Structure 1
């Protein structure tokens, strides 16, 4: 009982201390004590901030020391002819006080992730790397890469000493005051696996598709890559359909839809890849090799030789089942996503080439050389490539692109 009385007395004393005027301590002493306490707090706070800004502190976490340090040591930011090295805080800690405090609060998530083991191993770190990278990219983009510009500034650059190809990109970037991170992701650390990323615009397309009620005999377009099955129960997968692929609906059965694909393929090897147009490498679907030659699934309508390559092409139809809720009536909403992604990702370093500036068969090689400088995920990259091909010079002047033309063949 005595312990409870003592606790009660302590809380009563504590309450009176903070709620009643001082009777034994002078106001001057209280003010002086408060000033000293505030000074001690502020000094301790700043000392703590400075200590956590040291590279040694960053590398004391084994996730940083084992994963990021070896990558940094292979770059020019670690060792170069001038001997100027960028430390972890130089890039990842803002110099402005308020921004620095905000960044410290954000960094507490990584500290927590280390403590609870979310990024505690190499495998877990790589799994979450895309999330960590996107946070930093967003921060650099928001502040126009302020930390980079503490050392690199457009006004101090001598463009004449750059390679010609670099001059073109850098002059355009300087003119538009482009954030460094738009072009230089992965310059100090390895790029994450973009397979873990997802374009949020696809969610809008899927939402639109869920509201569509497909009718038998009508043509629609796939808004997402999806599997194609031989049976209504969807247990026998025979291939997959790419985005913006036209299909003809044959019948609806519960949560599944039977569709027909009318496409072209090269009569070579297993002939698994199905294209939207004769002679053009615009991929619409890919069949499993064990069913690509199955005449019960693939019906050959006609054969035709491409005079440019000498290859025989077959006009075929494929019937299969897909999941309901992934089809739209027009490809325009899909092209809007592709057009926006192409414009935003490929116009940062230079003016992006016009869609009709190359033909459909040239675009895959050209795009492969560009996409590595962007942060597109795989699905977005495939969609943009298909957009470029279907709006290429092969269809310039036509009122409908290749996808619309392929759909009309149904």
Structure 2
């Protein structure tokens, strides 16, 4: 019986340790499970893998692209400013190169990092996050003019377009990045899902 309970607890730990999750908001990132020094920020809708849990923190694995040789930000896709995570200069975060590619004649590295964050504001499904962002956008961004469709602008154009008008809407500042991620990931230069 003890062996069976041990096997079940180890199996559950392994399953939890490889959970794919999505950030529901902007989350602070830390180098270790006890540090209070923020070394970066995780953006909403970014997919992460939970590697382990310690206290109220989780060790996350985050992947993304960066221009070759740069390691301050991880982007969702090469050559688009759709931020997965950004890090402070000299943060001490270790980037692992897991691939490389070219986009529009520029070299990009595919990188992975392992950093800690609070075990909150994570969802196992990105669809409700996009639905919430779409609703916020649809309800607030048609009050002064006709609603712009996400495919109307490129992924790199959307952040400045949204930010130039967001202050005139009822969208809470904490939700700005969620809406921007929705718009960017559904922009005219992104593949249709």
After TM superposition, the score normalised by the length of structure 2 is 0.82
Q: Which residue, out of 86, 91, 94, partners 1:297? A: 94
Where does residue 143 of structure 2 map in the other structure?
Answer: 348
CA displacement at 1:304 relative to structure 2:
2.9
In 2, distance between residues paired with 1:325 and 1:372? Answer: 27
- Deviation per CA, 1:344-388: give whole Å up to 9, x if none: 111112221111222212222322333243243322222111110
Q: Which structure is larger by alpha-carbon Rg, 1 or 2?
A: 1
1: CA distance, partners of 2:17 / 2:128: 22
Q: Matches of 2:34 and 2:128 in 1, distance apart?
A: 30
Give the paired residue count: 179
Listed as ranges, the gaps of 5+ residues in structure 2 are 1-14
Q: Which residue of 1 aligns with 2:188?
A: 393
Q: Deviations over 1:293-346 (max 9, x none)?
A: x5x611122333332xx4432210010111112211001221222111101111
Matching residue within 108, 117, 124 for 1:313: 108
Residue in 2 aligned with 1:259? 60
Kindly indicate whether the alpha-carbon contact (under 8 Å) linking 1:265 and 1:271 is maintained by their aligned counterparts in 2: yes
Provide the C-alpha distance between the structure 2 equivalents of 1:252 and 1:271, rounded to a whole number of angstroms.
Answer: 26
CA contact (8 A) 2:186 2:192 kept: no
Q: Answer 1 or 2: which has greater strand percent.
A: 2
2:20–2:49 Cα contact (<8 Å) kept: yes
Question: Over residues 112-146 of structure 1, what are the superposed CA-to-partner deviations in whole Å (9 max), with x where a residue is unaligned?
Answer: xxxxxxxxxxxxxxxxxxxxxxxxxxxxxxxxxxx
User: Following the alignment from structure 1 to structure 2, what is the Cα–Cα distance between the partners of residues 237 and 385?
Assistant: 23
1:60-79 mapped onto 2 (5 Å cutoff)? none
Q: TM-score, normalised by structure 1?
A: 0.41
Provide the aligned C-alpha RMSD in A.
2.1
For structure 1, list consecutive stretches of 5 or more residues without a partner in the other structure: 1-213, 399-410
Matched residue, 1:125: none
- CA deviations on 1:149-186 (whole Å, 9 max, x unpaired) are xxxxxxxxxxxxxxxxxxxxxxxxxxxxxxxxxxxxxx
Asked if structure 2 preserves the Cα contact closer than 8 Å seen for 1:226 and 1:322, the reply is yes
**Greater share of residues in helix:** 1
- 2:16 corresponds in structure 1 to 215
